[in-house]
Amino acid sequence: MSKLDKVLTAIEETVNGALLLSATAVLFVNVVLRYVFKSSTTWAEEAIRYAIVWVTFFGGSMCARNKMHVGIDIFVQMAPRPVKKVLMALAQLSAAFFTAVITYFGWASTQLVIETAQKSPAMMMPMWIVYIAMPLGSALMTIRFVAAAYAILTDKSFGVDMVVEDGSVDMSRL
């Protein structure tokens, strides 16, 4: 499992890093062209928009890996340890189910775009390249959420308790 984690992490970080760097460079060049030379490219905004779509879905997987997705867990933190463990694992599995559904419907949308041979307006790029980010990123998130649930249930990664012994909430851990 550790080898798969390393491969997925490398893919996520490489894709996000390259796309963010590329989008920043294209944006900078386009701003210089627009304000210095009074002429800009026709494709830059579209390319940046599509890069951000990819960054969003792959970034979601990175957030799932680092347990950075938003959640309201004050009641979970106040629950007894065995209940807390089950609730935390259930939350991860619920997120995995949701992202699995997004993967399925994202793939269906991508197939439709492939069948209709849609192209982007400015770059004339096949739109399936943009659409495939949804099922790929969601599949990565599903894997990450299932791995987190497994880690919680096997006590490999149980998280940080925010409720201290006296029953009060440690605000520094929120």
Task: Give CA separation, 29 vs 24, 26, 46, 52, in Å.
Answer: 9, 5, 14, 17
pTM for the model = 0.84
- Residue 169 to residue 161: CA distance in whole angstroms: 9
Number of domains in the chain: 1
Instruction: Provide the domain limits for residue 47.
Output: 2-173
By CB atoms closer than 10 A (0-12, 13-18, 19+), residue 145 is: buried
pLDDT score of 129 more than 70:
yes
Residue 134: pLDDT band by 50, 70, 90 thresholds?
Answer: very high
pLDDT score of 1 more than 80:
no
Residue at 23: amino acid letter: A
CB 55 within 8 A of CB 19: yes
pLDDT in the model for residue 174:
46
User: If DSSP codes are grouped into helix, strand and coil, which group holds residue 158?
Assistant: coil
CB 55 within 8 A of CB 20: yes
- Percent of the chain exceeding pLDDT 90 equals 71
